[in-house]
Structure 1
Amino acid sequence: MDNREEYPKHREDADFSPDRYRLGQEDCGVALDIGATNVGLSIFRMRDGQRLVERQFSNPQQEHGADMIARLVKASNPVVAADLQGKLIEGIEQCLQEALQASGIGRTEIAGVGVVGNTAMLALLYNTGQRRFLDPDSWQEPWAFQAAGKTGLVTVLRQFCPVAGIEIIEPLMGFTGSGLLAGMVAARMPEQAPGTLLIDFGANTEIALWDGTTAWVTSVAGGPAFEGYGLSCGSAPLPGAIFRARRSESSQGLFEFETLEGKSPMGICGSGYVDILRLLLESNRLDNLGRLQGEPAADEKIELQAEPFIWITKQDIDTLQRAKAAVEAGLRNLLHQAEMWLPDIRRIYVAGHFGRLLDVASAQKIGLLPGVDAAGIELCGNIALKGCEDILRSRRAGEMLDQLRQAVKYGNLAFDTAVETDFFASVYLRPFE
């Protein structure tokens, strides 16, 4: 995917001047964001931040498990750990080679490379520390990968970017990675008003709430459903994936679908499922508990469109409800820790590939997002990648990164007994109250 995104005005006007490297006029940078489901890569011009190429590919480690814990458990076998590392490095190598060719940039014009990501994925990428994730007591301890990164990935990066400075941006702790930190930099969170919220949706959804002095952060295991995985008609956001659903004006069906690039429907991506849940609720085919009219079997296909056949199952709805409930429970936990209330949330940054396509009204209808005025909600796409670019370009962005590290307080949901109660209360498909 080659996508030059337009970023909001407040980011363009912020004084993140390109002063990290001694630059030639056309020197560029490479940013990498390592996620559990997808890996993002961009090539951008250092002097003005103009993104020249953006690429994304599915994390090939998924053949060892869609969720992170499955991969981490399997990585206790050294052979599997080496395979997990090798597959991801091979994918990055191929993606970087294609991106450089598409950009027309020479290898010696790359002045800097930055790497951010989910902490567990960085551990698998560098093949170190995986067992620590199986001990909840270690989740709040600091993690460091800079030394581990000297092998494997860095060898590949040196091959394609021989003169570049390489920076592995260290994560916060166990399940809160450097992607969230980079996203907070891109959102200029320390400069925002209290009540600013960042939700980076993914298999491991990370949440940050700014109260004016402290960034309260946590992560929740929403699973890969938001990105279309693990659902019977699910799809990644690829050409032909249904990303928007509307009530049909004709008598031929309940829905009208919109697909990416206008291709023939081949599945439903995460944002499409959110729209479908909303429409099923509004048509009374689904109640707030997630029960379908007629109580079909869990795996029975409920037709949404006859040709081509598009469907949803009760099991799909259950999976989406659990993912939604995990996010809501995590946010309620942060609000409690910050001694804030729902009306205190004034601005929301919605990040991730799922977030980029989300219909805000649908997300609010099912309770996935709080009921903030639409003008206060920003769909950011891969904000972690943008933050990584900023950090590579600007000393001031690096200083903001250090400031955020000092301002963070982490909510470990594994040790909070109220989270289970919040989770079950959040399963209902209704507006966030």
Structure 2
Amino acid sequence: MHKVVFVVKGKRQVEFLAGQRENLLEAARKAGIMIDTPCNGNGTCGKCKVQITKGRVDALSLTRLTEEEIADGWVLACSSEIIEDIEVNVPDLASAFQNEMQITDLSENENKNIRYVRKKMLKMGMTDSNRLCCEIIQLPEPTNDDNLADEDRLKRYFRQILGYSDIQVSLDVLRKFPDAFRENSFKIKVVYLKRGDIAEIMDVRSCLECACALYGVALDIGTTSVSACLVNMDTNEIVSKASMGNAQVKYGGDVINRIVYTEKPGGLKKLRDAIIEETINPLIGQMVQSAGITTDDIYEMCAAGNTTMTHLLLGINPDHLRREPFIPGVNTIPEMKSTEIGIRINPEGRVYLAPSVASYVGGDITAGVFAVPVWLQEEFTMLVDLGTNGEIVFGNKDFMMTCACSAGPAFEGGEISCGTRAVPGAIEEVKIDDATLKASFLTIGGEIPVGVCGSGIIDLICEMKRTGIIDGKGRISKDIDNPRIAFDEYDIGRYFVCSKELDGTAKDIYITEIDIDSFIKAKGAVFSAIHTLMESMDMPIEILENVYVAGGIGSNLGIENAIALGMLPDIPVEKYYYIGNSSMQGCYLALTLAEGKEKIAEIGQNMTYMELSVHPSYMDAFISACFIPHTDMSLFPSLQK
């Protein structure tokens, strides 16, 4: 056995005993150290760089490392084997992103959208209430003449006073009755769930303070990030918000890599623990601490995630999601008690998961459509959810068609040399001077630049095309004599956004032709999915009246640049709306409208899914879209002008 010391942010964090020739990345995972691995340790992304400061490892591959980095002891964790006692420096960017990520939550603009949609739904006849009820009850104390059991005494009250015909109580709640009833002379607080004339008793407490605060959680389970808000169910007020990176990232940056990891011994349990124990429960803990309540005060959760995330959350084998004919184990999940899946809210609390439609169109989309809402619109409307996967929904109140494409991690900085997720210091906006070709940029939080995130990559490539640094194929021009442009020994070009030599920055941040090619494929996948979906219905792009852009990529997305690169359809910019985290908005609405959950289920059943991978024209459309902006310029008339 060898001792491994992991140093994070300059502090000695974990001492761990590793086996002879154990893989360094696997050792870090076992020790609970977060190392960014979008490619799931396949050695292709180069993101798992760590520095060996004491001892040696057997570095099986040094690809994507510079000679300077190798000389300073940097290795790829996924390609290194432990052969002696070592000390490992884990860079902040790799280790801290989970807690420092900038993630879309319910901003003021999104709250405005919620208010607008709620108002519209209420006009349609939906009920401005939820299923949770709280009653302060004074029961008559038992006597020799009135000697009903505690359970029968409570049920009598519910039948005679509150008018319920059936009262259901679980064994765990029954166990509370004797002490809770007698602590304050049979004055009690009862929390229950109403289902028509049925009351499900969820909690009984002695009424000493007689506060009737009820809380719910709206939760968006993204592949990269997880966001939540704590809702006062009496007032519908959002009292706390929290978000962090999905801890499953250490097992792969996309759903396919995570599905593959589940095939390893214990892999499914590790992924399930990562999302529940390392992500969701800590988020809940943060929110209850901020709000000054306890987890027992939370009685309901409405959650949504893509189909793979739902399977991993429930511990259901997801392997068939990636194999033709791409069949999920489950689409519609019955409502569960929190204890069934290990989520730490009230033990009797209910967890609702928005239903999926297909392998690659999940509950995040059905919840998102509920919030947009496509299903209410007279006009032809489209929802484009951009993330690791790209999901598209097109239709109106009469029909809805949906499809999904594999955009890959490029929009979130994955498989980009200096790409990063949206962490402090990530470059999110870029401009390039026409004369000097020097880039000016803004970083998240105004911090020192650490890399380029999704919106910054879009701006950067668009500016490189505009200034002639690259051509339509993404190739860097060799005719430009500028110190910010360089070619390596393999003749692969790169452009320096900032450099130690030219700008005195702490590190070089650049983009290569290989990076640009990865982005072009990602944007081509999104546009060709939109184009194929519309073409399959004989609908011209011009028919679109509203296009809602959702997802973390959209928070700083320049629509004009996205159109100029051929990522989004060339229609007037004023028809585009950034909707933010539509999934969590839908979950919030489902919590606070009595019919919300049923409506999301109805939306899922009414959506028609088109599998792009077997569609005869999709691959041709994808190849045509792998150009800036497109090989068919008639699709981009405004750019021709």
Q: Distance in 1 between matches of 2:353 and 2:216?
A: 14
The C-alpha deviation readout for 1:172-216, integer Å capped at 9, x for no partner, is 121110000000001121111332111111111111011441111
The C-alpha deviation readout for 1:111-155, integer Å capped at 9, x for no partner, is 3111210101211222213122133224378524448x6687732
Whether 1:131 aligns to 2:233 is: no
Whether 1:169 aligns to 2:358 is: no
Q: Distance in 1 between matches of 2:582 and 2:106?
A: 13
Q: Distance in 1 between matches of 2:491 and 2:309?
A: 32
With 213-222 and 300-309 compared, the bigger mean Cα shift is at 300-309
Query: Alignment partner of 1:414: what SS?
Result: helix
Q: Distance in 1 between matches of 2:247 and 2:366?
A: 24
Whether 1:68 aligns to 2:261 is: no
Question: Could you say which residue in structure 2 is the equivalent of 1:88?
Answer: 275
Higher strand residue share: 2
Whether 1:105 aligns to 2:304 is: no
Report how far residue 166 of structure 1 moved. 1.8
Report how far residue 323 of structure 1 moved. 0.6
Compared CA separation, residues 311 and 41, structure 1 to 2 (3 A): same
With 14-23 and 163-172 compared, the bigger mean Cα shift is at 14-23
Q: Is the 8 A contact 1:235 1:269 kept in 2?
A: yes
Q: Distance in 1 between matches of 2:536 and 2:583?
A: 25
Query: Alignment partner of 2:357: what SS?
Result: coil
Question: Could you say which residue in structure 1 is the equivalent of 2:71?
Answer: none
Higher Cα radius of gyration: 2
Question: Could you say which residue in structure 1 is the equivalent of 2:66?
Answer: none
Query: Alignment partner of 2:320: what SS?
Result: helix
Compared CA separation, residues 397 and 373, structure 1 to 2 (3 A): farther
Question: Could you say which residue in structure 1 is the equivalent of 2:416?
Answer: 231
The C-alpha deviation readout for 1:260-299, integer Å capped at 9, x for no partner, is 1211211111000100111111101111121111294576
1:295-314 to 2 correspondences below 5 Å: 296=487, 297=490, 300-306=493-499, 307=503, 308=505, 309-314=508-513
Q: Distance in 2 between matches of 1:253 and 1:291?
A: 16
Q: Is the 8 A contact 2:118 2:589 kept in 1?
A: no
Q: Distance in 1 between matches of 2:232 and 2:492?
A: 49
Query: Alignment partner of 1:120: what SS?
Result: helix
Compared CA separation, residues 155 and 51, structure 1 to 2 (3 A): same
**What is the letter of the counterpart of residue 541 of structure 2?**
L
Report how far residue 74 of structure 1 moved. 2.4
With 280-289 and 306-315 compared, the bigger mean Cα shift is at 306-315
Question: Could you say which residue in structure 2 is the equivalent of 1:320?
Answer: 519
Compared CA separation, residues 379 and 23, structure 1 to 2 (3 A): farther
Question: Could you say which residue in structure 1 is the equivalent of 2:302?
Answer: 114
Q: Distance in 1 between matches of 2:457 and 2:569?
A: 18
Question: Could you say which residue in structure 1 is the equivalent of 2:447?
Answer: 263
**What is the letter of the counterpart of residue 248 of structure 2?**
Q
Compared CA separation, residues 53 and 17, structure 1 to 2 (3 A): farther
Whether 1:19 aligns to 2:212 is: no
Match of 2:572 among 365, 373, 376: 373
Q: Distance in 2 between matches of 1:426 and 1:51?
A: 42
Compared CA separation, residues 189 and 397, structure 1 to 2 (3 A): farther
Q: Distance in 1 between matches of 2:324 and 2:342?
A: 32
Whether 1:405 aligns to 2:607 is: no
Report how far residue 17 of structure 1 moved. 4.8
Match of 1:58 among 245, 257, 272: 245
Q: Is the 8 A contact 2:337 2:349 kept in 1?
A: no
How many residue pairs get aligned? The number is: 429
Quote the RMSD (CA, aligned, Å). 2.5
Report how far residue 23 of structure 1 moved. 4.7
Q: Distance in 1 between matches of 2:390 and 2:222?
A: 11
Question: Could you say which residue in structure 1 is the equivalent of 2:75?
Answer: none
Q: Is the 8 A contact 2:300 2:349 kept in 1?
A: yes
Compared CA separation, residues 45 and 349, structure 1 to 2 (3 A): farther
**What is the letter of the counterpart of residue 496 of structure 2?**
E
Q: Distance in 1 between matches of 2:627 and 2:223?
A: 27
Report how far residue 338 of structure 1 moved. 2.8
Q: Is the 8 A contact 2:384 2:548 kept in 1?
A: yes
Q: Is the 8 A contact 1:39 1:56 kept in 2?
A: yes
Question: Could you say which residue in structure 2 is the equivalent of 1:36?
Answer: 223
Q: Is the 8 A contact 1:23 1:111 kept in 2?
A: no
Report how far residue 368 of structure 1 moved. 1.3
**What is the letter of the counterpart of residue 182 of structure 1?**
A
The C-alpha deviation readout for 1:66-119, integer Å capped at 9, x for no partner, is 221122122123411111111221222222211221233333432311121010
Report how far residue 168 of structure 1 moved. 2.0
Query: Alignment partner of 2:403: what SS?
Result: strand
Q: Distance in 1 between matches of 2:474 and 2:364?
A: 33
Query: Alignment partner of 2:266: what SS?
Result: helix
Q: Distance in 2 between matches of 1:5 and 1:298?
A: 45
Query: Alignment partner of 1:395: what SS?
Result: coil
Question: Could you say which residue in structure 1 is the equivalent of 2:541?
Answer: 342
Report how far residue 350 of structure 1 moved. 0.6
**What is the letter of the counterpart of residue 132 of structure 2?**
R
Where structure 2 has 5 or more consecutive residues not aligned to the other structure, the ranges are 1-101, 135-211, 479-485, 637-641
Query: Alignment partner of 2:132: what SS?
Result: coil
Whether 1:240 aligns to 2:425 is: yes
Query: Alignment partner of 1:156: what SS?
Result: coil
Question: Could you say which residue in structure 2 is the equivalent of 1:5?
Answer: 107
Match of 1:272 among 442, 456, 460: 456
Q: TM-score, normalised by structure 2?
A: 0.63
With 373-382 and 194-203 compared, the bigger mean Cα shift is at 373-382
Q: Is the 8 A contact 1:349 1:378 kept in 2?
A: yes
**What is the letter of the counterpart of residue 81 of structure 1?**
L
Compared CA separation, residues 263 and 82, structure 1 to 2 (3 A): same
